[in-house]
Amino acid sequence: MLATSYIRIGLLAAFVVFAWAETSKSAAATGSTNILDEPLERLLDAEISSVSKHPETLGGAASAIYLMTGEEVQRTGSRLLVDSLRYVPGLDVAQVNSHTWAVSSRGFNNEYATKLLVLMDGRSVYTPLSAGVYWDTTDLMLEDLDRIEIIRGPGGTLWGANAVNGVINITSKSARDTLGSLVTGGGGNEEPFFTSARYGGKIGQDAYYRFYVKYDEHDDTAFSDGSSGGDQWSMFRTGFRMDSGTIGSDSFTLQGDFFNGHQDWSYTRSIAAAPYFDSLNDSEQVLGANLLGRWTHRFHNESEFTAQTYFDHTDRESNLPREKRDTFDLDLQQQFSPVGRNAIVVGLGYRVTTDRIDGDFAYSFVPRERTLNLFSAFAQDEIALVDKRLRLTLGSKLEHNDFTGFEVQPGVRLAWTPSERQTVWASIARAVRTPSRAEDDVRINQSLPPPDYPPGSTMSIWGNRSGESESLIAYELGYRAALSTNLSIDIASFYNSYDDLRSLESGPPPPGSPTPLLSLYSANQLKGQSWGVEVAADWEAAPDWWRIRAAYTFFGLDLQLASGGADTNTIHLLEGNAPRHQISLQSQMELSSSVQLDAGLRFVDRLEQSAISAYTALDVRLAWRVNKNLELSIVGLNLLDPSHPEYASTQVITPQREVQRSVFAKLSYRF
């Protein structure tokens, strides 16, 4: 397998040399002309070679918000969207195995991290099954990515339940901005082969469309002894997006995706009879489809009405039971400014999701099928107390869910902008994380094998319908400043107070179950506090060609048992599974108008509880724009060590897998 990779890289290298020779000829012919003397027709085709820039509008935002443009994401060299999030200040991204990630902000990270809400073009991609996010399918053609907006801290006021510790909002480009054809392809040792193609065009006066296909193969991770983790996977995706209408009146978007992937997976599963454990090598299918429509109407007085609806289908085999799910969602939103100083947003939403979970001895759900309804309404008013200087934002979300009934999530934010160069902001907000289907209905059985236990002994964990939502009151304070024309800094700090956190308490099993040796049920007997500071700096070291970004994250967590609770195990797991310090450093250079050199260095502190050592990783990307159609790039990820573990799965029986050094070449051709 390695040999074929080298052949492929060799071939690419040969062509790079060939292409280089060709361009040097044409470069000599071109000579140096001043762009000012070019006629307007030529300027329309002139390509922008710029250092990616942060949108300036962030300056006044009253929350810990960070933006990554599509270009910045590509420049991290990541093959998947999730890996680029490693450079976002305050986020904790750890790869569990080749197709599973644990992503969270402000603690509580695991592969089913429950306190982060992720939206793709307005479509929620968190699963009500575990309240986590499937990062393997949260992907798109990175060339079509417009931006990722990351809000750390509670976003409950606007975004609703589960936006407890953060919201990640992924936005793809309008079809207006992806005209023409693009073909990409490449491969390397850990990314054996990947390819994608997109075509964008125009229909009629003001309607645009694009269509894409994408196929990726990802190699296995490794066990600590170097042997294969047996978890390679491939994913096929296709989709489209249509945008029509003009800014200023009505605009419509219709988009959809379909994906189908196969993931190898080897694990050990509990079975009822001797030998009580079963080692499995599976290839599991992951399939999904979605369709979303959005209509925006802008009124003459700048007010705006948006209606959005989507349908989403998921069919996943995984080491959890097989999950089939259909979701329908409708959202209405109205923005208006009744009196000069107010900017009001109100919204209504309805979501219904139906699932069917096929279980086995180890994992099952009772009942097997369930339909859940969610009604929500929100209102927010941003009031300019002093014009351009002091803004107060008040809002609340009210929702009704089938688990806990009504939930209220109010928030208040204040932003003081003493001059255009700096903003100080503060906020207090309440957010809740509603129960997941698993916390309500799961039945987990684990065999306790002889000789330590009598034959047939099991431990069982079961869901509990009388569970509460986890709740948070968050206090935040932040400062953002443009220290000079080329240096800006963003500091956010927080103190979070949690109540009713999930725990496992011992109690009698639900009626009808076999009597286990040890029986635990999902309860809410933990509470705790977390605190932290996130600092991000952005420095244009040399105008127009060198940009440096740095980020530092400090995090602390202290949990306690609520009265009646006894689950110290979960306390140790949560407290010991968050890196205390994280540092990242990114450099983006335009070596010439056609060569980019990007590098990223990141340090992630140790995870005490799962014995994961601290690690430092280096990612490098070198890209060469051969001409306006063709780009070649070579990327090296995790270059500093042959492999390192980033996370130990919280599933006891899964051995720890390590992320390996990865090198690949990629070419993209536009025409």
Partner 1 sequence: MRAYPARWVACLLSCLLLLLVAGELNAQELRAREPQIKAAFLYNFAKLVYWPTNAFTRTNAPFVIGVLGKDSVAGALEGGLTGRAIDGHPIVIARYESAKEATNCHVLFISDTERRNLDTIMPILSGRPILTVSDSQGFVEWGVIELVRADKNFNFRINLETAQRAGLRLSSQLIRLDRNLRLPAASQTNAPPVKLR
**Least distance in Å: CB of 597 to partner 1?**
16
Quick one: 329 or 540, whose CB is closer to partner 1?
540
Choose the binding region for partner 1 from 48-56, 117-125, 150-158, 265-273 (rule: CB under 8 A).
Answer: 48-56
Alpha carbon distances (Å) from 664 to 46, 137, 161, 208, 590: 30, 21, 40, 33, 21
Does the footprint of partner 1 cover residue 195 (CB under 8 A)?
yes
Quick one: 309 or 594, whose CB is closer to partner 1?
594
597's enclosing H/E stretch is strand 595-604
Residue from 3, 28, 32, 40 binding partner 1 (CB under 8 A): 40
Does the footprint of partner 1 cover residue 56 (CB under 8 A)?
yes
Does the footprint of partner 1 cover residue 36 (CB under 8 A)?
yes
115's enclosing H/E stretch is none
**Least distance in Å: CB of 157 to partner 1?**
22
Q: What are phi and psi of 573, to 5 degrees?
A: -65, -45
Does the footprint of partner 1 cover residue 230 (CB under 8 A)?
no
Residue from 77, 187, 229, 411 binding partner 1 (CB under 8 A): 187
Does the footprint of partner 1 cover residue 453 (CB under 8 A)?
no
Identity at 575, one-letter amino acid code: E
Q: Where are the beta strands (DSSP E) in 420-486?
A: 422-433, 442-448, 457-462, 470-484
Q: Which of 381, 392, 379, 359 is nearest to 158 (CA)?
A: 379
Identity at 671, one-letter amino acid code: F
Quick one: 47 or 558, whose CB is closer to partner 1?
47
Quick one: 219 or 470, whose CB is closer to partner 1?
219
Quick one: 177 or 402, whose CB is closer to partner 1?
177
Choose the binding region for partner 1 from 108-116, 396-404, 556-564, 625-633 (rule: CB under 8 A).
Answer: 625-633
3's enclosing H/E stretch is helix 2-30
Residue from 485, 512, 515, 652 binding partner 1 (CB under 8 A): 485
Q: Which of 281, 184, 187, 196 is nearest to 235 (CA)?
A: 196
143's enclosing H/E stretch is none
From residue 630 to residue 649, the character string flagging contacts with partner 1 as x (rule: CB under 8 A) and all else as - is x-------------------
Quick one: 358 or 420, whose CB is closer to partner 1?
420
Residue from 48, 273, 339, 652 binding partner 1 (CB under 8 A): 48
Q: Residue count at the site for partner 1 (CB under 8 A)?
A: 61
**Least distance in Å: CB of 25 to partner 1?**
7
Quick one: 7 or 640, whose CB is closer to partner 1?
7
Answer yes or no: are the C-beta atoms of 97 and 657 closer than 8 Å: yes
In angstroms, the CA 507 to CA 520 distance is 6
Tokens read off for 549: 């970004």
Does the footprint of partner 1 cover residue 273 (CB under 8 A)?
no
From residue 238 to residue 267, the character string flagging contacts with partner 1 as x (rule: CB under 8 A) and all else as - is ---------xx-------------------
**Least distance in Å: CB of 628 to partner 1?**
4
Q: Which of 75, 125, 445 is nearest to 271 (CA)?
A: 445
Q: What are phi and psi of 256, to 5 degrees?
A: -160, 155
In angstroms, the CA 306 to CA 298 distance is 9
Answer yes or no: are the C-beta atoms of 145 and 169 closer than 8 Å: no
Alpha carbon distances (Å) from 129 to 59, 113, 268, 364, 437: 37, 12, 22, 12, 5
Q: Which of 443, 448, 445, 444 is nearest to 275 (CA)?
A: 448
**Least distance in Å: CB of 5 to partner 1?**
10
Does the footprint of partner 1 cover residue 6 (CB under 8 A)?
no
Residue from 10, 13, 17, 47 binding partner 1 (CB under 8 A): 47
**Least distance in Å: CB of 193 to partner 1?**
5
Q: Which of 254, 298, 246 is nearest to 123 (CA)?
A: 254
Does the footprint of partner 1 cover residue 210 (CB under 8 A)?
no
**Least distance in Å: CB of 482 to partner 1?**
9
User: Per residue, what are the HEC states of 205-239?
Assistant: CCEEEEEEEEEEEECCCEECCCCECCCCEEEEEEE
Does the footprint of partner 1 cover residue 32 (CB under 8 A)?
no
Answer yes or no: are the C-beta atoms of 121 and 292 closer than 8 Å: yes
Q: Which of 75, 84, 53 is nearest to 148 (CA)?
A: 84
Choose the binding region for partner 1 from 97-105, 185-193, 320-328, 407-415 (rule: CB under 8 A).
Answer: 185-193
Tokens read off for 555: 């995090």
Using DSSP's 3-state secondary structure scheme, residue 599 falls into: strand
Contacts (Cβ under 8 Å, ≥6 apart) of 402: 372, 373, 374
Choose the binding region for partner 1 from 188-196, 358-366, 427-435, 520-528 (rule: CB under 8 A).
Answer: 188-196
CA 338 to chain centre: 36
Quick one: 54 or 502, whose CB is closer to partner 1?
54
Residue from 28, 32, 41, 563 binding partner 1 (CB under 8 A): 41
Residue from 58, 171, 177, 271 binding partner 1 (CB under 8 A): 177
From residue 517 to residue 556, the character string flagging contacts with partner 1 as x (rule: CB under 8 A) and all else as - is --------------------------xx------------
End-to-end Cα spacing for the chain: 33
24's enclosing H/E stretch is helix 2-30
Contacts (Cβ under 8 Å, ≥6 apart) of 507: 519, 520, 521
Does the footprint of partner 1 cover residue 593 (CB under 8 A)?
yes
Does the footprint of partner 1 cover residue 38 (CB under 8 A)?
yes
Quick one: 285 or 610, whose CB is closer to partner 1?
285
Residue from 625, 634, 648, 659 binding partner 1 (CB under 8 A): 625
Footprint on this chain of partner 1 (rule: CB under 8 A) = 1, 8, 11, 15, 18-19, 22-23, 25-26, 29-30, 34-36, 38-50, 56-57, 173, 177-180, 183, 185, 187, 192-193, 195, 205-206, 217, 232, 247-248, 485, 543-544, 593-594, 625-630, 667, 669-670
